[in-house]
A and B are shown apart, each in its own frame.
Chain A
Amino acid sequence: MPNKDTIVDVPTVNKIARLSRLGIPEGNKESLTNDLNNILGFVAQLDEVDTSNVEPLASVTGHKLPLRSDDVNDGNIEDLVLKNAPERSSGFFVVPKVID
């Protein structure tokens, strides 16, 4: 079982924040890392159980994935879709220029 204090460090938190596009003030990083380690350490107790012969559980309800038939019965609601867009033009969302 991993030591709960060393599951994530500050560089890892920085990386996750960047991947998630979250801005974290410099002064909060240390305490956030501690909080995350406490949470992850708590969850890591589950590692004590040997699950090597157990199939992953996808659902406790016993339901199967429902399928729908291939019918077009949605769309044509561009006004609704664009309603919350900060900017729009001739039916498009307009965003700051994004180029790779």
Chain B
Amino acid sequence: MNDTSTLKPGHIQGETGIWEMVIGLEIHAQISSKSKLFSGASASFGSEANRNVSLVDAAMPGMLPVINEFCVEQAVKTGLALNAKINNISVFDRKNYFYADLPQGYQISQFTKPIVGEGEIIVDLDDGEQTTIGIERLHLEQDAGKSLHDQHPTKSYIDLNRTGVALMEIVSKPDIRSPQEAGAYVKKIRSILRYIGACDGNMEEGSLRADCNVSVRKSGEEFGTRCEIKNLNSIRFIIQAIQSEAERQVDILEEGGTIDQETRLFDTSTGETRSMRSKEDAHDYRYFPDPDLLPLEFSESWVQDIKEKLPELPDSLKKRLIKDFGITSYDASILVEEKDYVDFYQQAANGRDGKLTANWMITELFGALKKDNLSFSESPITSENLGELISLISNGTISGKIAKEVFSEMMKSKKSPSEIVKEKGLEQVSDDSEILKLIDQVISDNQDKVNEYLSGKDKLFGFFVGQVMKLSQGKANPGVVNKLLKEKLK
């Protein structure tokens, strides 16, 4: 066997050589609209079964779809944020298939003329590298309803609340070469969607899900036959599913078999994919233009208005944070991942030490929130209070060590740092005469060690510093203690 430890991500060592993965993603993002794509029923999550259903969604005869302008605007906004071509004329098609949670018997989608065409985004990888992933298209479509199969031994229960909710399907080019890149791509898309407010990106509630197309090939060869893994709802599952699917394909090919193009499901309990439906007729959707809907048209000036209102996006924000606050590219990419992080950081770091603020936010605050199982929005520490803590450190009121104590108190009590410092008497002591008193005490208590030091045992200096700090309960300014001790022990 060859050593696999040096394999690049996305490469698989087989008996016949190294295989490379080729991956393309279809991301389904639920648009953050109040009502559905073609009806005025609520698009909210978690209501009573069939409460948010209109007669249009239930596909009653004679009901006609009317498109939601807000949803169109979000698709255009997303297209612009993906640096993509906006199609001022697009067409809705019917994608025909039968399923109990699809009362129309077809999904209204866009096939040959989507609202957004080709684009590209830059993706940040864990090693600090960047790569560009092409966008093939983005189109608008309806979500299906929900089937519950575990309520009854022989029946399925159908809830149409999600039927007709607006989705954007964002299709990447097959530019992705490793599971890690796929994860980073989804993260970036989610971050962009959240910045512009087009989708809340909540993967647990299913607002963002991905289908992964995976194939393998030897480097430089043509693309192999792909399989599609459906409906992955976490970045961790996306990474696991792609790795396991690619390994499955390599095993088959190396044994001389061929890959069937098919749809597969990821089983989260086994960590493996399995075949979902027979390929017979699976993709025979008989698309045709929906006769209930005219082509969707909008003017170039409407697109320009949306473009002007776009907020600053993660890439440009990252550059600005590096320039304005002097932080590292790595720290900046963590901070721009979420709009909430950047807003918090900019408020906390405003007029203060940017690097110190970034350290405290990323290491201490994120760490403490994770430990307490809190989301960022539940942080007991406000940006104002973190900023104040940074000021107290920077102006020497407290030492870095005391600051950690103040910080954990802030996590518990939500009090401001200055309040805590005052209540507990934690101000750093920098006053020479006070520190000299402590030094005198330490010297008189340790006369034997002083004699040893004076007779050449230099290493004991650290011991004296430690004793003085201890006596001050950590409040003495270590710099001043050092300086004064040196003078005293000459």
> Which of A's residues lie within 8 Å of B, judged by CB?
15, 18-19, 21, 58-59, 63-78, 80-82, 87, 89-100
Contact = CB atoms under 8 A, between A and B. Distances in A.
A23 to B, nearest CB: 14
A63 B53 contact: no
B67 A65 contact: yes
B148 interface: yes
B294 interface: yes
10 contacts: A15-B281, A59-B294, A65-B67, A71-B34, A73-B40, A74-B55, A77-B54, A82-B50, A93-B159, A97-B149
Interface stretch (B69-77, B175-183, B307-315, B443-451): B69-77
A75 B53 CA distance: 5
Contact of A58 (B70, B276, B295): B295
B48 A91 contact: yes
Contact of A72 (B40, B69, B265, B277): B40
A72 B148 CA distance: 26
Interface stretch (B92-100, B236-244, B395-403): B92-100
Nearest to A85: B158
A100 B54 CA distance: 27
Given A19-B284, A99-B149, A78 B155 contact: no
5 tightest A-B contacts by CB?
A75-B41, A70-B70, A74-B40, A91-B49, A74-B54
B390 to A, nearest CB: 41
Contact of A70 (B68, B153, B277): B68
A68 to B, nearest CB: 5
Given A65-B293, A69-B69, A100-B277, A81 B35 contact: no
Contacts of A21: 98
B157 A93 contact: yes
A77 B48 CA distance: 12
B212 interface: no
Contacts of B33: 70
B52 interface: yes
